[in-house]
């Protein structure tokens, strides 16, 4: 085969190519000491690991030597295990790589299930101990669509960083590339993405609405901050997931929301317990009066300082006269287990609002999804 034009397998792209001083150092080492580690090939002849060694051998006019993968175990995990000890990767680079291998791991898991119906996904892993020792036990039990923990474990990252990396790859590929190249920390990329999203929020509608449903991106104090290794504050906990708004910023929306609301309108406003007190100036700035609340019992613990927080409040506020359209009084406590997606609210609450208020134009502010029968506003929907 023409070594200069030998093709790369897609798994070879998991790790970035060397450049500059790093590549020059590898090339000089091979020139002096020879190629000490083999270049791994797929059975079809494509390179799965060792692109930099191969490129250096071609540049030096040295005949490279190879080793062919025998098809045992996970090819993705093999490539990762061969590279991690060689590379000096930042936490952000590891997270991006973990996010990139997720679909590969899922494809491998699906293939194993197809090959071994009724046996889960263990076939082909009998000899994995040779490569990963005790870690092989963890790899054998991974299901196709639950690979995030496996990817984070294999790379040496954590699930939150992998989640951040997936979001960057989806919403800001340019920032993700900077992180992968090592030019930018993942925390800085996340901050820049949030600033973009704030700037990209569309203008509020000018129509009139009877029902307004809002889940503001509350900005918390620094007491809940996430810090870097050197102790410098980076984000509050919610700011890991979406750009937040201060109380002043939310109050400043009041003039527009007053124009949006019918003379007789209702506002359903989500607020967490720590932010309950500061919600009332916003309600007033938006032209509403507080009436009562619904408690969402989330079942599962979230996060708190003084108590184990398992609930959130949906405040009901009115402008003019806007009592429910039905005689039935819904229960003031709704028990629904929360999901793992930060701040996601169950669809049942929107259905409850539809039941209480059967007619009138309705809008959801700070929405993440489009819903039949509702207009939506926000930078994530």
> What residue spans define the domains of the chain?
3-69, 91-197, 201-377
Full-model pTM:
0.51
CATH 3.90.1530 fits 3-69, yes or no: yes
CA angle 339, 91, 55 (to 5 degrees): 125
d(Cα 49, Cα 256) in Å, to the nearest integer? 57
- Which SS3 state, helix, strand or coil, does residue 366 take? coil
Residues 76 and 124: beta-carbon distance below 8 Å: no
- Which distant-in-sequence residues (6+ apart) come within 8 Å of 170 by Cβ? none
d(Cα 28, Cα 10) in Å, to the nearest integer? 27
Tokens 């030597």 — which residue? 65
H-helix segments, the chain: 20-33, 51-60, 75-84, 91-115, 129-132, 135-140, 148-155, 159-171, 173-181, 186-199, 247-251, 254-260, 276-285, 347-356
Strand 209-214 to 261-271 pairing: parallel
The list of the chain residues with pLDDT below 50 reads 119-145, 222-241
pLDDT at residue number 52: 93
- Name the token pair of 278: 């500061």
Calculate the dihedral angle through the C-alpha atoms of 263, 260, 332, 355, rounding to the nearest 10 degrees: 80
Burial pattern 233-244, b for ≥16 Cβ within 10 A else e, equals: ebbbebbbbbbb
pLDDT at residue number 332: 96
Number of Cβ atoms within 10 Å of the Cβ of 124: 17
d(Cα 317, Cα 271) in Å, to the nearest integer? 13
Domain 201-377: give its CATH superfamily: Vaccinia Virus protein VP39 (3.40.50.150)
């Amino acid at each position: 085969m023409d070594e200069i034009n030998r093709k790369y397998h897609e798994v070879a792209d998991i790790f970035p190519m060397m450049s500059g001083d790093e590549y020059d150092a590898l090339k000089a080492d091979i020139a002096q000491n020879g190629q000490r580690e083999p270049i791994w090939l797929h059975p079809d002849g494509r390179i799965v690991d060792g692109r930099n060694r191969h490129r250096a051998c071609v540049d030096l006019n040295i005949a490279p030597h190879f080793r062919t993968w025998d098809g045992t175990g996970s090819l993705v995990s093999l490539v990762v295990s061969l590279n991690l000890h060689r590379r000096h990767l930042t936490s952000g680079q590891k997270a991006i790589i973990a996010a990139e291998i997720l679909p590969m791991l899922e494809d491998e898991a699906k293939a194993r299930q197809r090959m071994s119906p009724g046996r889960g996904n263990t076939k082909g892993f009998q000899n994995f101990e040779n490569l990963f020792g005790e870690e092989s036990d963890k790899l054998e039990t991974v299901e196709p669509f639950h690979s995030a923990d496996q990817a984070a474990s294999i790379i040496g990252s954590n699930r939150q960083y992998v989640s951040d990396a997936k979001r960057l790859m989806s919403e800001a590929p340019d920032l993700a590339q900077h992180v992968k190249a090592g030019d930018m920390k993942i925390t800085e990329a996340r901050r820049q993405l949030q600033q973009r999203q704030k700037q990209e929020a569309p203008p509020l509608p000018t129509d009139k609405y009877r029902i307004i449903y809002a889940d503001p991106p509350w900005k918390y104090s620094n007491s809940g901050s996430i810090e870097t290794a050197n102790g410098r504050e980076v984000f509050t906990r919610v700011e890991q997931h979406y750009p937040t708004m201060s109380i002043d910023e939310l109050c400043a929306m009041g003039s527009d929301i007053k124009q949006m609301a019918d003379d007789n309108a209702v506002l359903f406003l989500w607020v967490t317990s720590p932010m309950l007190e500061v919600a009332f100036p916003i309600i007033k700035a938006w032209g509403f009066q507080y009436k009562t609340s619904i408690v969402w019992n989330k079942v599962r613990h979230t996060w708190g300082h003084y108590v184990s927080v398992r609930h959130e409040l949906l405040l009901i506020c009115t402008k003019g006269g806007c009592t429910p359209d039905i005689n039935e009084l819904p229960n003031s406590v709704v028990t629904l287990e929360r999901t793992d997606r930060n701040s996601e609210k169950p669809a049942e609450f929107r259905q409850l609002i539809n039941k209480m208020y059967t007619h009138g134009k309705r809008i959801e502010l700070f929405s993440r999804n489009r819903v039949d029968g509702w207009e939506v506003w926000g930078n994530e929907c």
